Amino acid sequence: MESILSDEENSLIPSEGKNELCLAGDQLTSGYLNNPEKNKGSFFVLNENSTSRRFCRTGDISIIDEDGDFMYCGRKDNQVKIQGLRIDLGEIEHHVRNFTKVTNVFAVPVEKKSGGLQIYLFIENVIGNYKEINEYLKTKIPHYMLLANITSISNLPLNSNGKIDRKSLIKIAANLEE
């Protein structure tokens, strides 16, 4: 298995800075079944020194240290791992938006006091029976993706770019955990 760091243009990146980890080798899958759009975004061919190699984007942001080791820095997307299973928080948000018809819905991972992660959901200005949301989610997602908590929030925190500040939501959720 070969590992490199790549930018959005599928160019090999020198060891300075954070970029996406990409993998190539015999173990690499042939792609996603019946999903050419996802394949186009996930796989690319790098031609170098008369050799073509097919790489897969992992979504993991990494750096290479002085010894040539890859150091994990985080995810490019909103995926987290809970009990060794990869969860896309956007999928949970999508299902809640469809059910509630509320646009401002954000799922965040929160460290439990006992260790491990759980998922908290913030929904803007919705007071009501959250049990119905969880019951609906049980029909759409696996049990390990279900929510530990749903909280209505009147004003979602924004970062300096005017986007939802997920780090602030994680802090709010951590306080709810206490």
Would the pLDDT of 169 be above 60?
Answer: yes
Buried-state track 97-106, b at ≥16 Cβ within 10 A, e below 16: eebbeeeebb
Q: Tell me the C-alpha distance between 39 and 3, whole Å.
A: 19
CATH (domain of 48): 2.30.38.10
Q: Are residues 150 and 70 in the same domain?
A: no
CA distances for 60 relative to 3, 53, 82, 118, 139, angstroms? 12, 20, 16, 20, 30
pLDDT in tens, 77-115: 677 888 888 888 989 999 999 999 988 999 999 888 777
Q: Are residues 36 and 109 in the same domain?
A: no
3-state secondary structure of 21: strand
CATH (domain of 165): 3.30.300.30
Q: Tell me the C-alpha distance between 2 and 149, whole Å.
A: 41
Q: Give the chain's domain count.
A: 2
Range of the domain at 121: 79-177
CB 74 within 8 A of CB 81: no
Residues above pLDDT 90, as percent of the chain:
24
Q: Are residues 104 and 166 in the same domain?
A: yes
Query: Chain-wide mean pLDDT for the chain?
Result: 83
CA distances for 108 relative to 8, 72, 82, 96, angstroms? 26, 20, 12, 14
CA atoms within 13 A on the CB side of 101: 0
